[in-house]
Amino acid sequence: MVLLLRGVPAKVAPGVISGGEAPMRKAAERKLLKRATAAQEEELHPVEASRGEALSAAEHFQIVAFLAKSLSDENRLRILLCVSNGKKSVSSIVEELGLSQPLVSHHLKELKRSLLVKIERNGPFIYYELSDARIVDVVRMLSEVASDLLSLRKTF
């Protein structure tokens, strides 16, 4: 498996990133992060931490990877697009997407944990909405890239 880190290919043993034990994954991720050159680190726009200090490149990559993992499920993507049209309750998301209530609740919990959705309580009801409109742009861009890559694929 070859991963690109700011345009620099880094070879990783198959199965290290996509599966295996969590410590092995963490070690492989740390190896990849260490391969970033000083110039690549300068290209990054450091995210300001809540306490006012800039994050290191490694911390920045961890945050981006966490966000990418949160977007790595088809049902989560469908839920994000569903709530992009405005506030929705769990029952309306279940009805619109045809998914089970426990499944939708599980994914909403993960989306909330990753700060992709925010909640609003109104009596016994909880309404979910996107925390940032740019999330839809990211999902659409990923969709376009996926379509383009699949159209270039010659073998399956």
Alpha carbons 119 and 90: distance in angstroms, whole number:
11
- One domain, residues 25 and 66: yes
Phi, psi angles (nearest 5°) of residue 97? -95, -15
- One domain, residues 65 and 85: no
Better-scored residue on pLDDT, 1 or 119: 119
- Return the DSSP state at 99: -
Alpha carbons 26 and 6: distance in angstroms, whole number:
19
- Return the DSSP state at 8: E
The count of domains in the chain is 2
Location of structure tokens 């309750």: 89
Average pLDDT over residues 89-111: 96
Average pLDDT over residues 60-65: 90
Nearest to 41 by CA among 52, 54, 53, 28: 54
What pLDDT is recorded for position 39? Answer: 45
- One domain, residues 62 and 25: yes
* Three-state DSSP class for residue 27: helix
pLDDT tens digits, 44-55:
444 444 455 677
- One domain, residues 118 and 93: yes
Is residue 108 in some structural domain?
yes
- One domain, residues 27 and 47: yes
- One domain, residues 89 and 44: no
Is residue 33 in some structural domain?
yes
- One domain, residues 6 and 36: yes
- One domain, residues 59 and 10: yes
Is residue 82 in some structural domain?
yes
- One domain, residues 9 and 25: yes
User: For residue 28, what are the domain limits?
Assistant: 2-70
Structure tokens at 141: 């861009």
What is the pTM assigned to this prediction?
Answer: 0.64
- One domain, residues 63 and 79: no
Is residue 141 in some structural domain?
no
What pLDDT is recorded for position 154? Answer: 78
What pLDDT is recorded for position 112? Answer: 95
Alpha carbons 33 and 68: distance in angstroms, whole number:
16
- One domain, residues 31 and 57: yes
Nearest to 56 by CA among 40, 80, 73: 40
Phi, psi angles (nearest 5°) of residue 123? 65, -130
Average pLDDT over residues 24-48: 52
Better-scored residue on pLDDT, 118 or 27: 118
- One domain, residues 20 and 58: yes
Nearest to 86 by CA among 130, 126, 120: 130
